[in-house]
């Protein structure tokens, strides 16, 4: 069986391919070719928007053999392994765990703030005016909590 010519020995095309020609070769519309370019999945282009025949052929070969897919899969697996290692070392935390921790922290803060008025009022005013002081403190605490809740 004859061996396949090496890619670097292929003759260079003297005439570039237009987007219309490439679309026709692939059985796609020009618009679909543009979408592939926008998605970063298109064939390599020349500066003038045309395609070098050899580069296009190599790109098409990689797509047909799944070579690009295998490279992306290998990279994704390596990225995932790195994230898992960072999480295991405590360098990285999962978003859902962080949200749960913040929710618990905010709930504890809210409860502590609400308990301030009955605790502090008797300590800062005359015995007969504690109820009035408690109401004032409580109003300001609830106003502050409402402001924090709405982000204003």
Closest listed residue to residue 30, CA positions, set 50, 1, 6, 16: 50
Q: Which two tokens stand for residue 60?
A: 């098409």
The pLDDT score that the predictor gives to residue 7 is: 47
Q: What is the pLDDT along the chain (152 residues), one digit of tens a residue?
A: 555 545 455 455 567 899 999 999 889 999 998 998 898 888 999 999 899 988 888 888 888 887 777 888 888 999 999 999 988 898 888 888 889 999 999 999 999 999 999 999 989 888 889 899 999 999 999 999 999 888 76
In angstroms, the CA 116 to CA 141 distance is 8
The pLDDT score that the predictor gives to residue 109 is: 92
Tell me which CATH code domain 14-79 carries: 1.10.1660
pTM: 0.42
């Amino acid at each position: 069986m004859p061996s396949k010519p090496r890619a670097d020995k292929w003759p260079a095309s003297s005439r570039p391919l237009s987007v219309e020609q490439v679309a026709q070769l692939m059985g796609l519309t020009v618009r679909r070719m543009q979408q592939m370019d926008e998605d970063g999945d298109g064939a390599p282009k020349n500066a003038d928007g045309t395609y070098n025949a050899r580069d296009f052929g190599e790109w098409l070969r990689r797509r047909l053999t799944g070579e690009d897919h295998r490279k992306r899969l290998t990279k994704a697996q390596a990225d995932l392994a790195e994230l898992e290692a960072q999480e295991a070392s405590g360098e990285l935390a999962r978003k859902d765990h962080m949200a749960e921790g913040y929710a618990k922290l905010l709930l504890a803060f809210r409860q502590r703030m609400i308990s301030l008025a009955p605790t502090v009022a008797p300590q800062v005013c005359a015995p007969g005016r504690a109820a009035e002081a408690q109401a004032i403190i409580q109003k300001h605490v609830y106003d502050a909590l409402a402001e924090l809740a709405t982000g204003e």
